[in-house]
Each structure stands twice: as structure tokens, then as C-alpha cells.
Amino acid sequence: MKKFNRRISVAPMMKCTDRHDRYFLRLITQHSLLYTEMVTSAALIRGDAQYLLQYDPFEHPLALQLGGSDPQELADAAQLGESFGYDEINLNVGCPSERVRSGSFGACLMLEPSLVRDCVAAMKSVVKIPVTVKCRIGINRTMSYAFLKNFVQIVHEAGCETFIIHARNAWLNGISPKENREIPPLRYDYVYQLKDELPELEIIINGGIKTHAQIAAQLEYVDGVMIGREAYGNPYMLAPIDYLFYGDDYSIPTRTEIIERYLPYIKQQLKQGETLHSMTRHILGLFHGQPGARNWRRHLSDPNILAQNNVNCLWDALST
Ligand SMILES: Cc1cc2nc3c(=O)[nH]c(=O)nc-3n(C[C@H](O)[C@H](O)[C@H](O)COP(=O)(O)O)c2cc1C
């Protein structure tokens, strides 16, 4: 029986954690909470919600991440998310990209805590599932614990009980989104202090966490750990998570077993018109650090091989 809690989660990542990736990750860990890529409320309300929100029930527990800053539009989008069966709605208050800033949402919303509170309140008034917020510890070069605490306290007024905190500032000028995940220094101590001073809140820490030992160390201070890039680039690191952090005692699947279990899904999706590449691109890191990793990656990145849309290439990749 899958559990729904936020002890371990896989971060929302644009162009990475799409539904095919999430299905694949779910074969590796049953309980870790998975997040969608960010979907803007505008796209959901004015675009093809059916297409944007589709997923396989196997992906549960599953949170939908929304981007936006219009309370009514976010409420409508959250309602759609709930009607599609998502387990949680998460608001993105952490993304520093240019595109997101011009839409006046993402990390710059940390400068407008009252607006974030209103957005959360609007969403919470129309859905029963939890509404959570993912944010940074601050904006630009100023380091201030008081700024973080003030933001969280104001948003908490709307009844938000869970904050996922990427423990570095977002610099809104001068560096790219990618650099914004590396250059602003990590300050885990801000997140620990927040949990210490506001123990009634559920605090999930994120940023730069890669190993099981690091996860265990973080759990001494906070309620949960969100893993981003390491879970995408080295997905098999998730394999012992159910055993280590959820107390499951079933045997950990091997990499080959995971591929075997992914195959029926790939075949079914190919029949529905998906490309092989859209599914294999997420599994390139499965053998990260193992002998043969390079061949696996190279074989599954070859456009000529992928163009044939033939699943047997996975076995060929294994034996190269
Ligand atoms: C390719 C990529 C796309 C991302 N897209 C999102 C996103 O859509 N929403 C979001 O809140 N964060 C996004 N992030 C940030 C991650 O969720 C996470 O906060 C960040 O990578 C730090 O965690 P890590 O050090 O474990 O990777 C993205 C990160 C990456 C690498």
C-alpha cells in the first residue's frame, strides 16, 4: 500500500518530471511523493487542460505544481487539479527564470507575501486536498532569516501548513536559472531555524541533497527532503528509499527489473502515438556510475535507433 507523506519527494523539474518520467520513477520508489513540472494557471484555464493534466494512476502519490499569481485563476486551476485526482496542489514561489518573472510569478512573489497568502487562500477555499508552497530562502543578494520567517508566517495565515524550501536565495538579475541552482549559497541553517521556531509547520528542505546519508542527516532537523537533480540524473538512488525511509521490507528491484516493468508502459504509450525517445530520454541515468553506463546512454541517445520506435533497443542497449 503506497503511503502519502512528504518524507521524501522528487522535485518538480521542467522538461524532466513529465508523466513518462514519473511513471519510470514510480517503478523505483513506491512512496516518494512525485511532483509534476510547473504548469501555469493560465495554460490550464485557457489551454488544453486534459492534455496538460493527464497522468497514469500508478504515479500516485502525485502533486500538481502550479505557477501563477492571480488568485481566482489559481483557484480555478487548483479545482481542475483536484478533479483530475492529484493529491496536492503546490504553488511555485521559487523559479527565477525571465519568462516566469515577466508573468509576475515564481520567486519574485517572495517579495509579495500578502499576494501569495491571497493566492493560497483562494485555492484552499475551493479544494479539499492540501495546498503547499515551494519557495527559496530569500531574494537577490540580501541574506535575511527574518525575511524568510516573515514570508512564511504571512502565507501561513491563509492556512498553508507545508513549505518546501529550496535553501538558497533566488537572484533575479545577472545569472541564469541554471546558475541560480548553483551560485547562491546554500543556507540549510535558515530552514532548520524555521522548523525550530515554527514547529507546527511541516518543513521540507531542498537543494543540493544527493546521498542517503545526507537525507538521513537532514531528517534530524526537518520533516522531509525533496531531491531534484540527483533523482533525475541518477534515478536508481531512489531504489533503497522505501526501505530506508518508509520502513518497507520488500526486495529492492534491480535495474534490469525496472526496465522490464517499464516496457509494457512504453509499448502501450507507443500505441497511443508517443515516441520512444519521449520515454527513453528519462532513463539515460539508470546505470549512472555502473560499468556500461556510457554505452547504455549512447545507444539510447542515437537518433537513428530511436527513430525506429522499437522497444527491443532497450535490450540491445543493455548488451552493448
Ligand atoms: C531542469 C530543472 C527544472 C526545474 N523546474 C522547476 C519547476 O518547474 N518548478 C520548481 O519549483 N522548481 C524547478 N526546478 C528546481 C528544483 O525543483 C529544485 O528546487 C532544485 O533543482 C534544487 O534541488 P536539487 O539541488 O536537489 O536539484 C527545476 C530544476 C531543474 C534542474
CA atoms 141, 145, 146, 148: torsion sign: positive
94 CB near ligand 1 (under 6 Å): yes
90 CB near ligand 1 (under 6 Å): no
Kindly state the cell numbers that stand for 179.
546558475
pLDDT at 1 over 80: no
CA distance 20 to 11: 15
Look at ligand 1, atom 11, and give the residue with the nearest C-alpha.
92
CA distance 276 to 281: 8
Kindly state the cell numbers that stand for 304.
537513428
What contacts 273, CB < 8 A, 6 or more positions away? none
Query: Do the domains at 8-246 and 255-319 have one common CATH topology?
Result: no
**Cα 17 to ligand 1 centre (Å):** 10
**Cα 175 to ligand 1 centre (Å):** 15
pLDDT at 102 over 70: no
Longest dimension (CA), the chain: 57
CA distance 151 to 153: 6
Look at ligand 1, atom 22, and give the residue with the nearest C-alpha.
207
Give the other-Cβ count within 10 Å of 96's Cβ.
24
HEC readout, 1-22: CCCCCCCEEECCCCCCCCHHHH
The 10s digit of each residue's pLDDT in 5-17 is: 999 999 999 999 9
Please tell me the least confidently modeled range out of 13-22, 95-104, 145-154, 211-220. 95-104
**Cα 14 to ligand 1 centre (Å):** 7
Look at the pTM and tell me if it is higher than 0.95: yes
Task: Give the length of the chain.
Answer: 320
pLDDT at 267 over 90: yes
pLDDT at 104 over 80: no
One of 1.20.120, 3.30.1890, 3.40.1360, 2.60.40 is the CATH number of 255-319, namely 1.20.120
The 10s digit of each residue's pLDDT in 275-315 is: 999 999 999 999 999 999 999 999 999 999 999 989 999 99
132 CB near ligand 1 (under 6 Å): no
Every domain of the chain and the residues it spans: 8-246, 255-319
Q: How confident is the model at residue 101 (pLDDT cuts 50, 70, 90)?
A: low
Comparing CA positions, the residue from 133, 126, 125, 131 lying closest to residue 79 is: 126
pLDDT at 80 over 80: yes
End-to-end CA distance of the chain: give it in Å, rounded: 37
Q: Give pLDDT, residue 140.
A: 92
Q: Is 313 a catalytic residue?
A: no
Look at ligand 1, atom 29, and give the residue with the nearest C-alpha.
13
Give the other-Cβ count within 10 Å of 165's Cβ.
26
Q: Give pLDDT, residue 3.
A: 82
227 CB near ligand 1 (under 6 Å): yes
For the CA of 227, the closest atom of ligand 1 is: 26
**Cα 126 to ligand 1 centre (Å):** 27
Identify the architecture of domain 8-246 in CATH.
Alpha-Beta Barrel (3.20)
Average pLDDT across the chain, whole number: 95
Q: Give pLDDT, residue 83.
A: 98
For the CA of 209, the closest atom of ligand 1 is: 26
Please tell me the least confidently modeled range out of 24-33, 56-65, 130-139, 171-180. 171-180
Look at ligand 1, atom 28, and give the residue with the nearest C-alpha.
13
Q: How confident is the model at residue 318 (pLDDT cuts 50, 70, 90)?
A: confident
Comparing CA positions, the residue from 236, 214, 203, 212 lying closest to residue 6 is: 203
Q: How confident is the model at residue 173 (pLDDT cuts 50, 70, 90)?
A: confident
Q: Give pLDDT, residue 114.
A: 97
pLDDT at 98 over 80: no
Look at ligand 1, atom 23, and give the residue with the nearest C-alpha.
207
Please pick, among 16, 95, 108, 313, the residue that the annotation labels catalytic: 95
